[in-house]
Structure 1
Amino acid sequence: MLNRVIEQFRLKVSSIDEVEDSHSSTVYKCNLSNGENVFLKIPFTKLKYQRELEAYEILKGSVPIPEMIDYWSGDEECPGAFLLSELKGNSLSTKAKPTIAFQVGVLQAKMHSIRPPAEKALSGIKNEFPNWSHFVEEQFYSFAEDVRDILDEHLYNKAIETFKRMKQELPSAVGPSFVHMDFRPANIIVDEEKVSGVIDFESVRFGSTEIDFTKLYRDFLSYDDSLYIAYQEGYNSIRPLIDLENVLPFYRFTDAFNSIGWCKRRGIENNALFLKENVVRLKKWLL
């Protein structure tokens, strides 16, 4: 399939490396014969392809993203593919300075300021906001089918009870906003002292902003109070930040639970470390 995509885009490739930490697509970094680096991205499903395509159209000019050089709608064997420019830099690190955290806050706030386009019908990105409570519940119970096979019965039942209780305590949802759904350091590119942009839009929705802070907090903001404070200042410079202390506990809990289910679906052996981390996180909430 890779060779077919290379032929489709008529690329003259010198070398190819598969990109790690890409969970909803197969991504390759290609060095071309002219010395330029580009990325080939092949989503796992047609729906993920369509979401990505629409996201690039919606975000262009509003949020820093790679340039979509070309795209292919695929065929019976391939769900589609994208040819993307390279964002200079590396993935966000917990060693970043507060000035970078401020920029990350600005970037996410700009993304959350985008509302569903009134003039364009979308077939990939769904507006989940009108039924947000149902959407969150549907996601949780979908993964619960997989989590049941991992946890002992007592812990599993306690998780279900905790979900019901915490969900009732949530404040009113805020939106509809463009939510990334996988806004984590691996998808935020930093070039020295500047945030270059954000990548990977296979899971995006229009929904409540409250769900979109969880992974960033888990993998970045929770490591240093100065990062957390700077991030909030950056976000607030664009739009008011919701009271995260009211929503993060619920979404951190559901993130740990859902991640256990995700590991079961994607293969326990290949995701053993991530599975162990989330079982520990879940037990902290429950025990």
Structure 2
Amino acid sequence: MLNRVIEQFGLQLLSINEVEDSHSSTVYKCNLLNGDNNFLKIPYTKLKFQRELEAYELLKGSVAIPEILDYWTGDEDCPGAFLLSELKGQPLTTEVSPTVAYQVGVIHASIHSIQPPVVKALTSIQNEFPNWSKFIEHQFYSFAEDVRDVLDVGLYIQAIEKFEKMKQQLPSPDGPSFIHMDFRPANIIIDGNKVSGIIDFESVRFGSTEIDFTKLHRDFLCFDFTLYQAYKEGYSSIRPLIDLDVVLPFYRFTDAFNSIGWCKRRGIEKNALFLEENLAILKKLLL
């Protein structure tokens, strides 16, 4: 399939290397003979391809993102592929300055400021906001089928009961907003003291912003209060920030639970470290 895609785009390659930490697509960094670096992205499904294509159309001019240099709609063997420009820099780490954290807040709020288009009907990006509670419930119980095989019975029952109890305590959802659904450091590219842009849009929806802070908190915000405050200030400069202290406990819990189910689906052995991390989070939250 890779050779077919390379041929489709007519790439003159010096070298090509698969990018790690990409979970819903296969991504390759391409060093071209002309000295450019581009990225080749092959989503796992046709829906993910179509969703990403619509996301680029929606975000263009509003949020810093890579440029689509070319795309292929695929065939019976390939769901489709993108040739993307390179965003200069590296993925976000906790070693950045408060200035960068502020910019992360600004760009996140800019994403959340995008609302469902009135004129153009979307074919692949679902608007889950009108039935937000049902969406969250469906996600949780879909993964529960897999989680049941991983947790012991007592812990599993305790998790189900906690979900039902916490769900009732959530405030009214905030939206409808464009939500990334995988807003984590690996998808936020930093160049020095500046945010270059955001990548990976195969999981996006329209829905409530409250779900979109979880992974960023888990992998970045929770480690440094100063960065957390700077992020909040940046976000609030664009749009009002919901009370994260109210919603994060629920979404941290559901994210850990769902991630355990994800590991079961994708293979426990090759995702062993991620599984252990989320088991530890889940047990801590249940205790």
- Report the TM-score range of the alignment, normalised by the length of the smaller protein: over 0.9
Name 1:7's counterpart in structure 2: 7
Structure 2 counterpart of 1:7, one-letter code: E
Matched, 1:101 2:101: yes
Summarize the alignment of residues 213-224 of structure 1 with structure 2, pairs less than 5 Å apart: 213-224=213-224
Name 1:231's counterpart in structure 2: 231
SS at match of 1:161: helix
Name 1:45's counterpart in structure 2: 45
In 2, the alpha carbon distance for the partners of 1:5 and 1:147 equals 36
Structure 2 counterpart of 1:48, one-letter code: K
SS at match of 1:78: coil
1:114-150 CA distance string (max 9 Å, x none): 0011111111100000000000000000000000000
In 2, the alpha carbon distance for the partners of 1:15 and 1:274 equals 30
Structure 2 counterpart of 1:26, one-letter code: T
Structure 1 stretches of 4+ moved >2 Å: none
Name 2:152's counterpart in structure 1: 152
**Post-superposition offset of 1:96:** 1.0
Structure 2 counterpart of 1:91, one-letter code: P
SS at match of 2:246: helix
In 2, the alpha carbon distance for the partners of 1:151 and 1:140 equals 15
SS at match of 1:8: helix
Structure 1 counterpart of 2:43, one-letter code: P
Matched, 1:20 2:17: no
1:155-185 CA distance string (max 9 Å, x none): 0000000000000000000101000000000
SS at match of 2:124: coil
Name 1:180's counterpart in structure 2: 180
Name 2:250's counterpart in structure 1: 250
**Post-superposition offset of 1:193:** 0.5
Name 1:203's counterpart in structure 2: 203
SS at match of 2:242: coil
SS at match of 2:139: helix
Name 2:60's counterpart in structure 1: 60
Structure 2 counterpart of 1:208, one-letter code: S
**Post-superposition offset of 1:11:** 1.1
Name 1:190's counterpart in structure 2: 190
1:44-91 CA distance string (max 9 Å, x none): 000000110000000000000000111100000000000000000000
**Post-superposition offset of 1:37:** 0.2
In 2, the alpha carbon distance for the partners of 1:21 and 1:259 equals 15
Structure 1 counterpart of 2:6, one-letter code: I
Structure 1 stretches lacking a partner, 5+ long = none
What TM-score, normalized to structure 2?
A: 1.00
What TM-score, normalized to structure 1?
A: 1.00
In 2, the alpha carbon distance for the partners of 1:252 and 1:6 equals 40
In 1, the alpha carbon distance for the partners of 2:160 and 2:9 equals 48
Structure 2 counterpart of 1:240, one-letter code: P
Structure 2 counterpart of 1:100, one-letter code: V
In 1, the alpha carbon distance for the partners of 2:273 and 2:170 equals 31
In 2, the alpha carbon distance for the partners of 1:276 and 1:27 equals 25
Equivalenced residue count is: 287
SS at match of 2:268: coil
Name 2:131's counterpart in structure 1: 131
Structure 2 stretches lacking a partner, 5+ long = none
In 1, the alpha carbon distance for the partners of 2:248 and 2:28 equals 34
What fraction of aligned residue pairs are identical, expressed as a percent? 76
SS at match of 2:249: helix
1:190-212 CA distance string (max 9 Å, x none): 00110000000010000000000
SS at match of 1:14: strand
